[in-house]
A = this chain, B = another copy of it.
C-alpha cells in the first residue's frame, strides 16, 4: 500500500536540480539555504526536511529547484555555496535531474527482478540508463540484448572470485556506472567491492529483515510458520544483510502455502520493493545516516 513517486518527466528536467544536505541541527539553516537559492535566481519546486531529535540533533533536507541554464551555472552555484556549507558543517551535494544515473544490474538465474526493472525502464518509469547487465550465468543474454543493453557473462567460482570481481570493476569503471543493483545476484560480494561503492550498491533480500538473514529465507519462513512474508531492499555493507534498509513490504500467506508458493508470492514482493528502492535512489531521495535511511518521498 505504498508506491514510489517519480518527479515526473516534464521539460523542466533540464533546468532542475536536487540538493541533499545533512548537518548538525542549528537555527537558520533553511533560511540560509533558501535565501542562497533565491539570490541565485533559483525557484524551489519542492523541499522536504527532517530533523532528528530537536536539540543537538541532525538536520536533513532535500530541495528540488529550477534554474535557467542550470547545466552551465552548476559549477558557479556549487562554488558560491561553499561558504554556506562550511558555516553549517554540511555534508551536501547537488544532482542535475537531467544527468541520469548509470546503472549496472547484477543477476543470477532468477529473472523477475531484472525483468521488472527492464519493463519499467522501457515504459519510461525508471528515469535512469541501464548501461549493462552482469551475470554469473549466460541464461538471459538474448533477452537482455533484445533491449539493446550489453550483457556480460562473468562466471564466478570459489577460485575465480577475485578475478571475476576485478573484471566487474573494470567494466563498471569503463562505463561510468554510478549505481549497482543486485537483482537477486546469488553471490556474496567482497568487502573490497563493497567499500568501493558505499551507498551505491542496492540489494534485494528475500525476507523481511532482520528476520531470516542469510540463505533460503523462504524455507526458514515456512519452518517458522509465519503468516506474512516479505522482502527488503537495502544498501550493501560489509556485514551480510545488515546494511541500511531502504524499503520493505510483505504479503499475507497461510498454512496452505508450500515453500514453492512462498517463493512465487515472494517474487512479486521482491520485484516491487526493489523497483521502489531503485527509483528513490535514482531520484536522489535517500540519505544514509547511522546505518539507516532517510527517504524523502
Nearest-neighbor residue (CB-CB) of A124 within chain B: B264
Cβ-based interface call for A248 (8 A): yes
User: Is residue A123 contacting chain B, with contact meaning CB distance below 8 A?
Assistant: yes
Find the residue from A3, A29, A43, A224 having the highest chain B CB count within 10 A.
A3
In the bound complex, CA of A49 to CA of B64 (Å): 11
Whether B28 and A254, one on each chain, are in contact in the complex, defined by CB atoms closer than 8 angstroms, is no
**A228/B249 in contact, CB under 8 A:** yes
Task: List A residues at the B interface (Cβ < 8 Å).
Answer: 1-3, 5-6, 8, 10, 12, 27-32, 34-35, 37-39, 41-51, 53-54, 66, 112, 115, 119, 123, 125, 146, 208-212, 224-228, 230, 244-258, 260-261, 264-265, 267-268, 272, 290-295
Q: Specify which chain B residues have a CB less than 8 angstroms from the CB of A212 in the assembled complex.
A: 210
**Contact at B251–A250, with CB atoms within 8 Å?**
no
How many copies make up the complex?
Answer: 4
Taking the nearest CB of chain B, how far is it from the CB of A221, in angstroms?
9
Give the shortest distance, in Å, between A115 (CB) and chain B (any CB). 6
B-chain residues with CB within 8 Å of residue A250 when the two chains form the complex: 1, 228, 250
**B225 near A293 (CB under 8 angstroms)?**
yes
Are the C-beta atoms of B1 and A261 separated by less than 8 Å?
Answer: no
Cα A129 to Cα B244 in complex, Å, equals: 40
Question: Are B245 and A227 closer than 8 Å at their CB atoms?
Answer: yes
Residue of B1, B27, B43, B251 near A252 (CB, 8 A) is B1
CA distance A43 to B6 in the complex (A): 30
Q: A45-B54, A261-B6 are in contact. Are A209 and B226 (CB under 8 A)?
A: yes
Q: Would you give the shortest CB distance from A108 to chain B, in whole angstroms?
A: 15
Neighbouring B residues of A260 by C-beta, 8 Å:
8
A44 & B66 in contact (Cβ 8 Å cutoff): no
- In the complex, what distance in Å separates the CA atom of A171 from the CA atom of B291? 49
Find the B residue at minimum CB distance from A265: B3
> Which residues of B lie under 8 Å from residue A10 when comparing CB positions?
54
List the B side residues contacting A227 at CB < 8 Å. 245-248
* CB atoms of A46 and B51 under 8 A apart: yes
Q: A30-B34, A208-B228 are in contact. Are A261 and B5 (CB under 8 A)?
A: yes
Query: A35 contacts which of B34, B208, B226, B251 (Cβ < 8 Å)?
Result: B34
